[in-house]
Amino acid sequence: MQKSRRAMFIVPSYQFSATVLWICASLLAMLWGPSASAQAYPTKPVKFVVAYPPGGPTDILARLLSPKLQTALGQPFVVESRPGAGGNVGTDFVAKSPADGYTILLTASGPLAINVTLYKKLPYDPLKDLTPVIHVASVPLVLVVHPSVPAKSVHELIALLKSKPEGYSFASAGNGTPQHLSAELFKTMADVKMVHVPYRGSAPAINDLVGGQVPIAFESMVAVLPQIKGGRLRALATTGPQRSSLLPDVPSVAEAGLPGYESIAWYGVVAPGGTSKAIVDRLNSEITKALDTPELKQRLAELGSAPVHGTPEQFGAFIKSETARWGKVVKESGATVD
């Protein structure tokens, strides 16, 4: 009887071996699964969303990167424009998309670091609903005016605005964009007034600026340099800490009369919150390689920027610091869209 009871607990050797193999296979899958998933990614086209209209700086950067990523990863990276609400529409779309790496966003500082303060309520939380992938570029803005504006310098523009407090307006790529907040910072520091005219992106804003419907703008060098070189707009100053090599004869705003003024438009790629680290790291690696190619380095230099890149963690820390910085500007200027 005792022997019979012991026999009930004996596991046949073949069954024991199968059990051990199953356990080992499960552990290996847990350890190597994310890596294998990243190596396989992508297996279908990737939607590369831009939160602004075609022709603007984010669209230009996305279209520079997409063919490089398609070649490197073997799947199309399809640029899709989803403009509206200062970049909030496209950003919210990506924030609510599946976190599988097949919908990513190239966007600017507005939707990631400015709008959280500017809007009373956003449909997404930039820090919780989005995963930083990589910082792509940082581009100085340019203070430009239509040729009909009599001011030829920052000093003359400030005097002109003070002489006609309600007489001038400025265009921007939309509420909460770097273009908008750069002008608000200028207004606060120079103690002048201008009426804000927001557009649905840089391209339509520049069209009306060139046409003379709106006389003044702070615009990304990526988008406005051709108009400056063509004489359709006059550059008064750049917004970086020093002069741009692309406009060596144009002073910085700080140099031209407002010491301490600085504003940089920056762009980066994010994915939906919860996207696996393996996929984020794969995207970061391939975008870094693309940015480091001689072709893209030259193209970015022509647009006023050096490639930035860095790790996803560094980009996340940068977004947090910029959120605090621009939040202060929004509060001090009293800017609002609600």
**pLDDT tens digits, one per residue of 68-101:** 999 999 999 999 999 988 899 999 999 999 999 9
Residues 200 and 272 grouped into a single domain:
no
DSSP letter for 251, please.
Answer: P
> Which pLDDT band holds residue 12 (cuts at 50, 70, 90)?
low
Domain end residue (candidates: 256, 289, 312):
256
The counts of H helices and E strands in the chain are: 14, 9
134 forms beta bridges with 269
In a domain, 224, yes or no: yes
- Which amino acid would we find at residue 34? P
8 in a domain, yes or no? no
* Count of all residues that appear for the chain in the document: 338
Whether 165 and 198 share a structural domain? yes
DSSP per-residue letters across 45-113: -EEEEESS-TTSHHHHHHHHHHHHHHHHHSS-EEEEE---GGGHHHHHHHHTS-SSSSEEEEEEHIIII
Which CATH number belongs to the domain containing residue 153 in this structure? 3.40.190.10
23-32 per-position pLDDT tens digit = 544 555 455 5
CA distances from 64 to 58, 91, 185, 304 (A): 10, 20, 31, 15
Q: What is the pLDDT of residue 283?
A: 98
> What's the rounded Cα separation, in Å, for the pair 24 and 32?
12
Structure confidence at residue 125 (pLDDT)? 96
Please check whether residue 316 is in contact with residue 74, taking contact to mean a CB–CB distance below 8 angstroms: no
The answer to whether residues 82 and 169 belong to one domain is: no
Percentage, residues of the chain above pLDDT 70: 88
Average pLDDT over residues 277-288: 98
Lowest mean pLDDT among 9-13, 46-50, 291-295: 9-13
Flag whether 72 is in a domain: yes
Domain that holds residue 216: 140-256
pLDDT at 152: 96
- Picking from 229, 256, 283, the residue at the C-terminal end of a domain is 256
Highest mean pLDDT among 3-17, 62-76, 214-228 belongs to 62-76
Answer yes or no: is 19 within a domain: no
Q: Is residue 114 assigned to a domain?
A: yes
Q: Is the pLDDT of residue 36 over 70?
A: no
Same domain as 318, residue 271: yes
| The pLDDT of residue 282 is above 70 | yes
Same domain flag for 124 and 174: no
Task: Report the pLDDT value the prediction gives residue 192, as an integer from 0 to 100.
Answer: 96
Closest CA to 216 of 155, 139, 165, 157: 157
Residue 317 CA to residue 10 CA, distance in Å, equals 57
What's the whole-model pTM score?
A: 0.78
Residues 284, 324, single domain; the answer is: yes
Residue 261 has pLDDT above 70, yes or no: yes
CA distance 236 to 222: 16
Q: Is the dihedral of CA 311, 240, 222, 192 positive or negative?
A: positive
Q: The CATH number of the domain where 89 resides is what?
A: 3.40.190.150
pLDDT higher than 50, residue 193 = yes
Task: Please indicate, yes or no, if residue 158 is contained in any of the structural domains.
Answer: yes
**Interval 161-176: pLDDT, tens:** 999 998 999 999 888 8
What pLDDT score was predicted for residue 253? 97
Which residues make Cβ contacts (< 8 Å) with residue 193, sequence separation at least 6?
Answer: 161, 165, 166, 187
Contact 224, 247 (CB under 8 A): no
Given 214, 239, 256, the domain boundary residue is 256
Q: Hey, which of 22-26, 244-248, 268-272 has the most confident mean pLDDT?
A: 268-272
Tell me the Cα Rg of the chain.
25
Task: Lowest mean pLDDT of 39-43, 60-64, 204-208, name the range.
Answer: 39-43
Q: Are strands 77-81 and 169-172 parallel, antiparallel or unpaired?
A: unpaired
pLDDT of 334 higher than 70: yes
Q: What is the pLDDT of residue 47?
A: 98
Mean pLDDT of all residues in the chain? 88
The 10s digit of each residue's pLDDT in 113-136 is: 999 988 888 999 999 999 999 999
Residue 79 φ/ψ, nearest 5 degrees: -75, 125
34 belongs to a structural domain: no
Residues 304/117, Cβ–Cβ less than 8 Å:
no
Question: How many domains does one find in the chain?
Answer: 2
Whether the per-residue pLDDT at 281 is higher than 80: the answer is: yes
Residue 37 pLDDT more than 70? no
How much is the pLDDT for 120? 86
DSSP secondary structure of 101-159: SSEEEEEEHIIIIIHHHHSS--SS-TTTSEEEEEEEEEEEEEEEE-TTS---SHHHHHH
